[in-house]
Structure 1
Amino acid sequence: MTHNELRKYLVDHYPESTLQMITDERKAALLAEYPKLPSDYVQFLCEVGFGAIGDARYSVYGGPVDPSFVFDQVTAGGLRDVVLIGDDFAGGQEAFQFRNEGTIFGSVDSLSGRFEPDDDGTFSKFIERWFVESEPSLTLV
């Protein structure tokens, strides 16, 4: 599914969404501050957007957020190489971990406060799994 198809799906199925696409200026600023951001994520912000998906179902941040804005000092200290990019309004946080070998997408466990890599790899695929693939099929009786 392309980003444009994903945006259309989200807006059509979750009309209360407040997704706004970032500007070229914002994109340039994000890449200047975080040059290791994956291109898929940056394109997601440009083509799908940031904001709430549905009525408080998921929040896509307008850019990376330092863990200290969400977690206590000790937990945030253990996430020095991590930035948060979205949350499910229930404690679940999606994030990127910057490593020498590259940037890894994953989640920060709300109980342990540890980063856990997502084996499927991209933020776009995560959103697609969450909202498109997990939606139950309608069965007519």
Structure 2
Amino acid sequence: MSAPRHPLSVVFLLHIALESPLGIQGIWTPSSLPFLQLNNTTLIVLKLYAALVLGTCLVALLVYPLPEFLPGKRALAMGLCIYHSIVSTILFQSPRFIPYSFGPVFEAWKFTPEVLWGGLHGFLGLGMVAWWQSTVGYAQAVRKMQ
């Protein structure tokens, strides 16, 4: 049975767009990432995290073209929703660790690179929820046909 891909499936590609730059740079040159206070321990943990991120990017790329009702695609969406929600919360609550600024006006409003990054993760988490909810009908229809 071939079902058309839902337009919100693009959230899987957005996950790749948000995470792959950190994953690639974290694997090959983690010390060149713009983070403060990197030592040997944090570089190793950063490489491990980058490997995990690249793994989720590969899985997201593989499930993107699959039908919306498949349990594996739905499970990945749930996992990515939880991941992005937690990362968003962590980034919003983190002290400054990226030594860049958007300028004094944005600093006055507490809009920092960490907040932007956390916001992008939050929107992606919401995107996963939106995809999940908008495709529930597909999954229910297939379950009834079986």
TM-score by length of structure 2 reads 0.25
The structure with more helix, counted as a fraction of residues: 2
TM-score (norm 1): 0.26
Higher alpha-carbon Rg: 2
Higher relative contact order (CA 8 A, sep 6+): 2
Larger % of strand: which? 1
